[in-house]
Amino acid sequence: MTNARQGMGAPPTPASDVSARRRVAIATIVGSALEWYDFYLYAAMAALVFGDLFFPAADSTSGTLAAFATFAVGFVARPVGGILFGHLADRVGRRKVLMITLILMGTSTGLIGLLPGYATAGTFAPVALTILRVLQGLGSGAEYSSAAVVAYEHASSDRRGRQGAWPALGLNIGLLLSSLTVAVLTSTDKNFLMTWGWRIPFIASFALVGVGLWVRRQVPETPAFQENTAGDKSDRSAAKMPLITLLRQDWRGLLVVMAIALGYNALSYIFKTFSLAYLTEFQGVAANVGAFGISLASGTAIITAPIFGWASDRFGSRRVLMAGAVAGGLFAFPFFMLLDSKNNAAIYLCLVIATGVLAPAMFAPQGSFLSEQFPAFVRASGVGVGREFGGAISGGLAPLAALAIVGASDTHATWGVSLILIAGAVVVVIGASLDQGRRHVLNDEAVVPVVERAAR
């Protein structure tokens, strides 16, 4: 019989056959792709369109700041989503939560495309935009954690890094799709972009939700969750209040996840989103240049993310994560040197290095690293709460702070933003060095081989 302590460390176990593993992979990648399609699309349009459309002001920078504020509001909602849906994932199952978050996230994005602008609806327009952004944030607040945990818990002991990198692969597919869409739209007539063009990719989210639901209906529940719910009474009672149990027993792992998310999101969102606003607002570079650069970078990341997942299995997810953070910090000043050149090729190279190589180096290992910080019955709550609280602080505020720093400088100096990037890298390294996963992994290793033999 599985005792209470063993249930707490219930192992991630492999999908029983190749077709099941393939379904898990597709569902994980598709959902993560939709999440980042939604989020990057909003971020790009906040930088390029929403300021004028929903927040008319005396100058474009003020309008853009207001639009970025709604972007930050989504990050405020994400911890609530992490708590709510993390609790549900640990209580009723990962699969059900994957369905709910997909619907909430995708529908909110689609409805944004149907909103009237300020000129038509007055204050209703920005209020409705903010509400839908909050709902979008609630759904996204659990999407990554649920997807990462599902991939991790279906992995055999020698594939956790590769399967944990599936959400990172999905991220960059979604990023590629949305950035190519933005690049095409910003290459068209500006009047078309500001009237109907920007709406098209948001409304397309409805179709993506349909595809995602069809895929996720076929996903099996994770063996680790099934083992916990099939355990004895002490197992089931321990899972009734996963957040309380998490705070009492695994708060160190929670702090590790928060630190990783805090540092990583600061780098990632400055690389991905602030760079667009900086190029258009302060360097006079055409909007489609930055958007196409992000497309090239995300295409590169589709290749590099699986490589970093493999490296996590080969060298350890902690080492890969720390190496990516150090490289990201070292790139803080060269990043702006390349952007300031106003040379298209240099800008493309800059974004490919930052978003196509350095960001995946830090993100791909997180699927396995973050999941390892917790026992199975609080794993979704731990990853969701820790990641979203850390991400809410830096992911929403870092681009806003960076824009404010550059805008407040008469010469549009960027050294303050470079310091934010370096600080983010340092926080990631500190978080990774406090790794709490070894005790859970050791427990997993003792049980996984038995399950693997039974599955053969």
**CB atoms near residue 206 (< 10 Å):** 15
Does 6 have pLDDT greater than 50? no
| Structural domains of the chain, count | 1
In a domain, 444, yes or no: yes
Cβ proximity of 147 and 31 under 8 Å: yes
**pLDDT for 246:** 87
- Across the chain, what does the average pLDDT equal? 83
pLDDT tens per residue across span 210-237: 888 888 888 888 888 887 766 554 444 4
Residue 340 sits at the vertex; the CA angle it makes with 334 and 341, to the nearest 5 degrees, is 95
Of the candidates 212, 176, 180, the residue with the CA atom closest to the CA atom of residue 302: 176
**pLDDT for 300:** 95
Does 8 have pLDDT greater than 60? no
Q: Which amino acid is at 24?
A: V
Q: How many Å apart are CA 104 and CA 150, to the nearest integer?
A: 19
CATH code, 92: 1.20.1250.20
In a domain, 2, yes or no: no
- Mean pLDDT across 362-385: 92
pLDDT tens per residue across span 307-317: 999 999 999 99
Higher pLDDT, 328 or 48: 328
Does 141 have pLDDT greater than 90? no
In a domain, 409, yes or no: yes
pLDDT tens per residue across span 87-137: 888 888 888 888 898 899 889 999 999 999 888 888 898 889 989 988 888
Cβ proximity of 406 and 267 under 8 Å: no
Does 58 have pLDDT greater than 60? no
Cβ proximity of 389 and 336 under 8 Å: no
**pLDDT for 313:** 95
In a domain, 408, yes or no: yes
- Mean pLDDT across 243-253: 87
Residues with Cβ within 8 Å of residue 357, at least 6 apart in sequence: 300, 301, 304
**pLDDT for 147:** 87
**CB atoms near residue 314 (< 10 Å):** 12
Does 359 have pLDDT greater than 90? yes
CA 188 to chain centre: 29
**pLDDT for 299:** 92
**pLDDT for 61:** 64
pLDDT tens per residue across span 382-392: 999 999 888 87
**pLDDT for 3:** 37
In a domain, 1, yes or no: no
**pLDDT for 5:** 35
Of the candidates 406, 297, 351, 416, the residue with the CA atom closest to the CA atom of residue 64: 406
How many residues does this entry show for the chain? 456
In a domain, 46, yes or no: yes
Does 60 have pLDDT greater than 70? no
Cβ proximity of 251 and 22 under 8 Å: no
- Structural domain of residue 353, as residue ranges? 7-455
Cβ proximity of 238 and 4 under 8 Å: yes
In a domain, 230, yes or no: yes
Does 295 have pLDDT greater than 80? yes
Q: How many Å apart are CA 268 and CA 9, to the nearest integer?
A: 32
**pLDDT for 187:** 82
**pLDDT for 221:** 83
Residue 174, classed as helix, strand or coil, is helix
Q: How many Å apart are CA 134 and CA 74, to the nearest integer?
A: 5
**pLDDT for 49:** 84
In a domain, 158, yes or no: yes
DSSP state of 374: S
